[in-house]
Structure 1
Amino acid sequence: MGLMVTRDDAQAILEQLAGPGALLRDDQWTAIEALVVQRRRALVVQRTGWGKSAVYFIAAKLLRGTGHGATVIVSPLLALMRNQVAAAERAGVHAATINSSNVAEWDDIHQRVRDADLDVLLVSPERLNNPDFRDAVLPALARDAGLVVVDEAHCVSDWGHDFRPDYRRIRSLIAELGTDVPVLATTATANDRVVEDVAAQLGVGGRDTLVLRGGLDRESLRLSVVQAGNPAQRAAWLADHIGSLPGSGIVYTLTVAQAHDVAALLRERGLPVAAYTGATEAAEREQLEADLLADRVKALIATSALGMGFDKPDLGFVVHLGAPSSPIAYYQQVGRAGRATERAEVILLPGREDADVWRYFASVAFPAESLVRKVIRELDTDRPLSTAALEPLVDLNRSRLEMVLKVLDVDGAVRRVKGGWVGTGAPWEYDEARYRTLDEARRREQQAMLDYQATQGCRMAFLRAQLDDPDLGADERCGRCDNCTGERYSADVDAAAAEDTRRTLMRPGVELSPRKQWPTGLAKLGIDLSGRITDGPQPGRVIGRLTDLGWGARLRALLDGPDGEVPDDVVTAAVKVLAAWDWAVRPTAVMSLDSATHPVLITSLRSRLAELGRLTDLGTMRYAPGRRPATAANSAYRVAALSGAWSPPEPVPADAGPVLLVDDLADTGWTLTMAARVLRAAGAAEVLPFALAGTS
């Protein structure tokens, strides 16, 4: 039964949300009418800034005012949740959010749901499979909901740029809804394949579903590509130009290390910027977002962690130092700019090393079938295992194991319960064809990003075509990008500035934090180690990270290349790192680790350091006969493989002082930790790890 709700009613609520000058557009009213009056399901694919949140808040308010239950909004975005709750309160909508940052409020919010005291409940997708929430709160929501909204719905599709396994659980919520409960799925970034997959996953693709799909042109954006050269030249170009870009903005980098490197470089040049990454604490993220909103910083130097949901209508520019691997991801990120300005600058500074980063992230995708089946086999159907307890039983690190468990949960092969995970005994098939097709699709997207850089055609039309924009006409051009106007940023970089930037970026030395705690479950692998590590190394150093803008390319080339004597520039960098090391007691001896790939490189580095630093040369700590290669990704498996990996070295004199322990690559930290224990057992008072490169 439809409700007597008019467009004027919706307009009045919009003015409460957005101010008296706001005007409800025809397409927004079409969506609201379908949800509130016709009780239909709707899929809305509209560009960033179209006003999707206004649609669901107005619909929620109208439904609540006519006696329907609370609206449930599933969203992955803590920043967006904060903004939305504030907006809702301004419109007189009682809203609350359940997410990882407000644990103390969960019980009170659950009670408000049961008491029908909430108009809107925003939940993160992870909540949907929390056992307490799933079993105690979700049934009531599904039974009494006035509207269910799936925000950023492309996350449900592994064809989208930001797939999240938890989103698949929304299917079960929607399946339990009454037939007259409307469902709204929204996204700004979806091509035809993603739209079809979202509709299928969420069950919003029936004949009675309203599909509102608008054009993706952004009339304020001026798209440019600048081929400024190597990493130092590109960073120098950015330092020279960022001050003249309009307003404040975002500079995206591909890795956490690059974000910190660039932020440090720009701050040294006197520019007010800050780094924002997935490793940034939640409270600090909130403060950094506020600083950008208030123009207290010129830019945030960010990874993709600053993306969907951050809304600054007058953001003046988005610069990418390195290209994302997908045109969809690129469009989504540049869409942060120019929502309420006549002009915003969008600049891509691609690098030859971008493809290396793409390959790395592709290498940690869904694991091989044998590993996934091992996870299933290790789970009983009645005795739960926590993720930490399961980790030492399978060769997957924590983040990949959690992803696998979430996918298996969605597929029905495992189930999350209090105390961890159990198997269901249900048959499960590894979808080899889908994963292979997905891999091929990602390779095509990567090629499309290279084509975007090289195209002589309209750049906005290129991106719109990649997203299957229904409004894109044949031979349409935006008239604003560098190719359309012929107006281009010069790629020239002052040679002295580039060299100064190169020296800054190439300052060697990154601290290597020691492992402090043994991984859980080692006893199951026959290793009697647990708790705190008391006989490991001191904090160490590496020349640089493989992902650094400065040393990254040089170190990757060195470690990927053939074995040989250590180059002079690397020795010079190592000496600089050692000279700047603020150790309590200077090392008096040096030892290198055996290497299967670069024995000459590491041996020669050890010899040169012994000679230059007047250190006692203790030689090489040799592998033990029959040792197992430590190739496991999982910490417990890696420690088990490293146990007994080296033959005991000659005793170290009791008065020898600290020993510098040299290796080529510090990745997980476990090789240097286990080797340091062997050296400590041989009499070394302290062990100071030193490696050419680190991975993080």
Structure 2
Amino acid sequence: MPTPSSAPAAPDLDPAALRAEAEEVLRRLVGDPAARLREDQWTAIEALVAHRRRALVVQRTGWGKSAVYFVATALLRARGAGPTVIVSPLLALMRNQIAAAERAGVRAVTVNSTNAEEWGQVFDEVRAGAVDVLLVSPERLNNPGFRDEVLPPLAATTGLLVVDEAHCVSDWGHDFRPDYRRIRTLLADLPDGIPVLATTATANARVTADVAEQLSVTGTRTLEDVLVLRGSLDRSSLRLGVVRLPSHAHRLAWLVQHLPGLPGSGIVYVLTVSAAADVAAHLRAHGIEAVPYTGQTDPGERLQAEDDLVNDRIKVLVATSALGMGFDKPDLGFVVHLGAPSSPIAYYQQVGRAGRGIDDAQVVLLPGAEDRDIWRYFASLGFPEEQDVRRALDALAEAGEPLSTPALEARVALRRNRLETMLKVLDVDGAVRRMRGGWLSTGREWAYDGERYARVAQAREVEQQAMLDYVATTGCRLEFLRRALDDPEAAPCGRCDGCGGFEVPREVDESAVSAAGADLDRPGVPLEPKKVWPAGVKALGVPVSGRIAPAEQPGTGRAVARTTDLGWGNAVRELFAPGATDGETPVPLRHAAAAVLDDWARELGLDGVVAMCSASRPRLVAHLAEGLARYTDLPLLATFRLLEDGPTRSDVNSAHRLAQVARRFELPEDAPVAGRRVLLVDDRTRSGWTLAVAARQLRRAGADAVHPFVLGDGD
């Protein structure tokens, strides 16, 4: 264990008295009168409070890293220090941390994309000294208003800076996030003597060194000035196993057959957003209470899903990596992966959600033949080639004024997410600057670091091979993961299927396989109804909140395909491609729509069709609705009226998206929908709020049921 700094402590900070005070705060935090600090916890707290050092703590999930910064905050605030600023990547993490802070008598507030209407009040309270901890999402660090108006005075008054999940700082890490690189600017702006703490559970030696080096970016600080505390990554409660099955249908059947027998409630991780929805729907169809959870799930629904899992109201969350850092359920009984993550380090982090507060948790990996294709796809979204970067820089320079991402997207052959990621990196590098209204060229010379990008890409390939080796190993699985994280204490666990301590079930019932295969071949994809209004939408002039009343919700709908799917997804993407003209429904999609209705709508007892209105594709929507009415021999009851035909944005949060559509259209007063079961037809859905608002209007007009139908689901 590294020794504490030799710098003299302040005269009033007697080490024994300070530790006693720290442990009293810890007892309030955890609610245990016998709680004691671990030695490395105390070492970190003493370094921060007594010596005002910079420290990096790399410890396993559940070790108590958050206790370090909450205890340190309480001690520093008692000595007149300013508020602690925690840069935290996920809303789930923020919510758990705020709850933990309250137990310790520490008042914590947050600033993130879901509570913009509260920012003014939050900053007033920070300035008034009424806040002990301010949690900030990394994306806020480069929001123009926050960066230019809030960040400088905040940096000047901060008492402690905490970088949680610090592996995100490093582009060598498995979960690098460009927004985290803005932290280097925040570090450089801190006054001398302000302590800094970075924490992570998933950093190998290379990432640890990179993060520690970035912590020492100011003045004459060197790497030796950063205290690094690394501990054992053993997880004594985990039992790890791998089951290799011949097809996706077999893996779905394994879940249906064996999830009910796994202890407690847990998580099934999948690799894509569409898989989360599909798998959750399949499990529900077979009597297993399952809810999807992805980065595209509405924040209010994510919060509800987390709460349902924590309180065992559901058996399983079917989640992408969006459910990861910071989610805390001590008695989580199992984690199953339907498809392997691309890195043993990422896998270790996700399985670390299980078994924090219980003695036995089961961890099962069901790898798929398509895993490598999915890894390859996500790898293709890495930093673009130099010619694409130069084209974007040239376009910004030629514009001479800020360009929005959509405006720049029309000039650069990069998809939206990849373009935005690239711009964030260029912003930190000083080549562009994010402004109100878009991105502006700074004119500064910029060098493409192709050598580093190539090394990072090669490191990713090495990690992918290591994950394949994990699947194939006959040795100890936990030892394998610990060695991947450079844990010097890695040793056989005695509890996994390789050590003989875990007999993971491998049999699959053939009837369940047949049922899964039939489910996979069924046309169309479900559209789940919105159940919770977005948080904060009242402040935007829409008078709704909380759960959507069941009597105002639509039923489950259908789309022909997701825009991210293969197969019919290709036809849908072509229909909605930029520059595509409005017109009649293409013949192949007419047949697909009919097939979906044949499979889905026969038992709904529909009484009529209602068409949505559209500013961009009125002919397509009208033709689709009329054609479906003829095909089903149902009357076309009404068409919504468009009240505002200006453009809307889809790249906004749920509250703003709902505010955009809430008053955009209306149902004609004389629409004969009372007492009817309605098929609501639109061309596509993105956020789902247009369909939710339209369904609410129909239900309030007396419709007995509303079932949405669209060609495409997604951007």
The aligned runs of 1:225-244 (5 Å cut-off) are 225-244=242-261
Distance in 2, matches of 1:546 and 1:179, equals 49
Q: Can you give the 5+ residue segments of structure 1 that lack an aligned partner in the other structure?
A: 514-538, 553-570, 586-612, 614-634, 636-665, 669-687
1:115 equivalenced with 2:128 (yes/no): yes
Distance in 1, matches of 2:180 and 2:301, equals 26
**1:387 counterpart letter in structure 2:** T
Pick aligned residue for 2:212 from 183, 199, 212:
199
Aligned to 1:650: none
Pick aligned residue for 2:91 from 55, 71, 78:
78
Q: CA deviation at 1:690?
A: 8.0
Aligned to 2:504: 489
Distance in 1, matches of 2:564 and 2:194, equals 51
Aligned to 1:433: 451
Pick aligned residue for 2:296 from 271, 279, 294:
279
Aligned to 1:294: 311
Distance in 2, matches of 1:542 and 1:68, equals 58
Report which stretch shifted further, 245-254 or 195-204: 195-204
Q: Describe the shift of the 1:391–1:543 C-alpha distance in structure 2 as closer, same or farther (beyond 3 A).
A: closer
**2:206 counterpart letter in structure 1:** R
Report which stretch shifted further, 434-443 or 304-313: 434-443
Distance in 2, matches of 1:275 and 1:367, equals 31
Q: CA contact under 8 A between 2:54 and 2:215: conserved in structure 1?
A: no
Distance in 1, matches of 2:710 and 2:292, equals 28
Aligned to 1:369: 386
Pick aligned residue for 2:25 from 13, 37, 46:
13
Pick aligned residue for 2:335 from 318, 323, 341:
318
1:478 equivalenced with 2:493 (yes/no): yes
Aligned to 1:671: none
Q: CA contact under 8 A between 1:323 and 1:354: conserved in structure 2?
A: yes
Q: Describe the shift of the 1:307–1:487 C-alpha distance in structure 2 as closer, same or farther (beyond 3 A).
A: closer
The aligned runs of 1:496-515 (5 Å cut-off) are 496-510=511-525
Partner secondary structure for residue 369 of structure 2 = coil
**1:453 counterpart letter in structure 2:** V
Q: Describe the shift of the 1:149–1:544 C-alpha distance in structure 2 as closer, same or farther (beyond 3 A).
A: closer
Distance in 1, matches of 2:563 and 2:513, equals 21
Q: CA contact under 8 A between 2:253 and 2:512: conserved in structure 1?
A: yes
Distance in 2, matches of 1:12 and 1:547, equals 54
The aligned runs of 1:591-670 (5 Å cut-off) are none
Aligned to 1:593: none
Report which stretch shifted further, 450-459 or 269-278: 269-278
Q: Describe the shift of the 1:122–1:667 C-alpha distance in structure 2 as closer, same or farther (beyond 3 A).
A: closer
**1:211 counterpart letter in structure 2:** V
Q: CA deviation at 1:419?
A: 2.6
**2:81 counterpart letter in structure 1:** H
Q: CA contact under 8 A between 1:221 and 1:337: conserved in structure 2?
A: yes
Distance in 2, matches of 1:447 and 1:170, equals 31
Describe the superposition over 1:460-499 as per-residue Cα deviations: whole angstroms up to 9, x where unpaired: 0100011101322xxx211000010164324221112211
Describe the superposition over 1:206-248 as per-residue Cα deviations: whole angstroms up to 9, x where unpaired: 2132110001110000000011221001110111110110111
Q: CA deviation at 1:390?
A: 2.3
Pick aligned residue for 1:44 from 45, 48, 57:
57
Partner secondary structure for residue 483 of structure 1 = coil
Cα RMSD, aligned residues only: 3.2
1:127 equivalenced with 2:170 (yes/no): no
Q: Describe the shift of the 1:136–1:255 C-alpha distance in structure 2 as closer, same or farther (beyond 3 A).
A: same
Q: Describe the shift of the 1:92–1:382 C-alpha distance in structure 2 as closer, same or farther (beyond 3 A).
A: farther
Q: CA deviation at 1:179?
A: 2.1
Distance in 2, matches of 1:99 and 1:12, equals 31
Partner secondary structure for residue 171 of structure 2 = coil
Partner secondary structure for residue 393 of structure 1 = coil
Q: CA deviation at 1:16?
A: 1.1
Pick aligned residue for 2:366 from 327, 334, 349:
349
1:262 equivalenced with 2:259 (yes/no): no
Aligned to 1:559: none
Aligned to 1:563: none
**2:492 counterpart letter in structure 1:** R
The aligned runs of 1:156-167 (5 Å cut-off) are 156-167=169-180
Partner secondary structure for residue 223 of structure 2 = coil
Q: Describe the shift of the 1:126–1:330 C-alpha distance in structure 2 as closer, same or farther (beyond 3 A).
A: same
1:458 equivalenced with 2:473 (yes/no): no
**1:405 counterpart letter in structure 2:** L
Pick aligned residue for 1:4 from 13, 16, 30:
13
Q: Describe the shift of the 1:339–1:581 C-alpha distance in structure 2 as closer, same or farther (beyond 3 A).
A: closer
Distance in 1, matches of 2:258 and 2:448, equals 50
Distance in 1, matches of 2:525 and 2:598, equals 13
Instruction: Give the % identical residues.
Output: 61
Aligned to 2:376: 359
Aligned to 1:400: 418
Q: CA deviation at 1:572?
A: 12
Distance in 2, matches of 1:379 and 1:280, equals 33
Q: CA contact under 8 A between 1:413 and 1:426: conserved in structure 2?
A: yes
Higher-Rg structure is 1
Report which stretch shifted further, 322-331 or 136-145: 136-145
Q: State the 4+ residue runs in structure 1 displaced beyond 4 angstroms.
A: 539-548, 571-576, 581-585, 688-691
Describe the superposition over 1:296-329 as per-residue Cα deviations: whole angstroms up to 9, x where unpaired: 0011011111111100011000000110111111
**2:499 counterpart letter in structure 1:** C
The aligned runs of 1:436-447 (5 Å cut-off) are 436-447=454-465
Q: Describe the shift of the 1:240–1:137 C-alpha distance in structure 2 as closer, same or farther (beyond 3 A).
A: same
Q: Describe the shift of the 1:38–1:541 C-alpha distance in structure 2 as closer, same or farther (beyond 3 A).
A: closer
Report which stretch shifted further, 576-585 or 488-497: 576-585
Pick aligned residue for 2:39 from 1, 21, 26:
26
Distance in 1, matches of 2:568 and 2:266, equals 27
Q: CA deviation at 1:97?
A: 0.8
Partner secondary structure for residue 260 of structure 1 = helix
Q: CA deviation at 1:116?
A: 2.6
Instruction: Count matched residues.
Output: 555
**2:461 counterpart letter in structure 1:** R
Q: CA contact under 8 A between 1:460 and 1:477: conserved in structure 2?
A: yes
Q: CA deviation at 1:284?
A: 0.4
Describe the superposition over 1:629-655 as per-residue Cα deviations: whole angstroms up to 9, x where unpaired: xxxxxx9xxxxxxxxxxxxxxxxxxxx
Pick aligned residue for 2:164 from 133, 148, 151:
151
Distance in 2, matches of 1:65 and 1:502, equals 62
Aligned to 2:578: none
Q: Describe the shift of the 1:398–1:575 C-alpha distance in structure 2 as closer, same or farther (beyond 3 A).
A: closer
Q: Describe the shift of the 1:21–1:544 C-alpha distance in structure 2 as closer, same or farther (beyond 3 A).
A: same
Describe the superposition over 1:25-50 as per-residue Cα deviations: whole angstroms up to 9, x where unpaired: 11111110010001111010000001
Q: CA contact under 8 A between 1:252 and 1:304: conserved in structure 2?
A: yes
Length-normalised TM-score, structure 1: 0.75
**1:128 counterpart letter in structure 2:** L
Partner secondary structure for residue 338 of structure 1 = coil
Q: CA deviation at 1:543?
A: 7.0
Distance in 2, matches of 1:420 and 1:38, equals 42
1:218 equivalenced with 2:235 (yes/no): yes
Length-normalised TM-score, structure 2: 0.73
Q: CA contact under 8 A between 1:171 and 1:203: conserved in structure 2?
A: no
